[in-house]
Amino acid sequence: MHVILTLEYDGTPFHGWATQPGLSTVEGALRRALGETFAAVESLAVAGRTDSGVHALGQVVSVDVEGGPPPERAAAALNPRLPDEITVLSSAEASASFHARHSARSRSYRYRLFTRSTPSPFERRRSWWLPQALDEHALGAAAAALVGQHDFSAFTPAQTQHDVFVRVVKRAEWIRRGDHLDFEITADSYLRHMVRSLVGTMVEAPDTIPGLLDGRPRSEAGVTAPPWGLYLVSVAY
């Protein structure tokens, strides 16, 4: 039985998505819950492998299972077996050809800045606190420059396993929501640390963004924003 799961999680206590020996990860927790719920679990795939501390509002998983509840009841069966920081929002049977990663057409991320003059205990590890004044017009122009096909070499670590650095950004914008200033981006796929490096560079020097989109080296871009402000919002298929 091929199943699709949609998850949300607080990435704070986890060392990222991918299973690592001796470390707490989202995948590790999900695999344990699946193993307690089904007689057999195989071919687990995820739409986006989030880094340590990164959150998700709409992570997607595909997995083959046997000997457990029907697909539509899998979420209810899994949630009591998962840590409080992880929830399966929905579960359903998927076609045999569906793959959470390879079938995805785009992924959307949000990066949250908390701009109030004083910090908040409720925002700790949920956003990047930046109380200084920001040029929101310049940030908006920088985000608009990202839309289209570009070489994002400047926004991923110099030591990387990527061979192709061109990505297609379908949407990018900054949105003011009260004390939050959110960067939202939708792209076909992403390089490692790409969104966080874009945010860090835009915060430091938004006017430099257009000149960095032609394969410039990482050293010419800005800092990498901390992971706890980043959310995987949704995946489109």
Active-site positions?
A: 51
**φ/ψ of residue 236, rounded to 5:** -105, 140
CB 154 within 8 A of CB 217: yes
Q: Give the separation between CA 192 and CA 190, rounded to whole angstroms.
A: 7
CB atoms < 10 A from the CB of 157, how many?
A: 13
**φ/ψ of residue 143, rounded to 5:** -65, -40
- Phi-psi category of residue 131: left, alpha or beta, with phi > 0 → left and psi -120 to 50 → alpha: alpha
Cα-based distances in Å from 21 to 24, 41, 192: 8, 19, 21
CB atoms < 10 A from the CB of 120, how many?
A: 12
CB 179 within 8 A of CB 115: yes
- Two structure tokens written together for 228: 């706890």
Q: Give the separation between CA 100 and CA 63, rounded to whole angstroms.
A: 9
**φ/ψ of residue 98, rounded to 5:** -75, 135
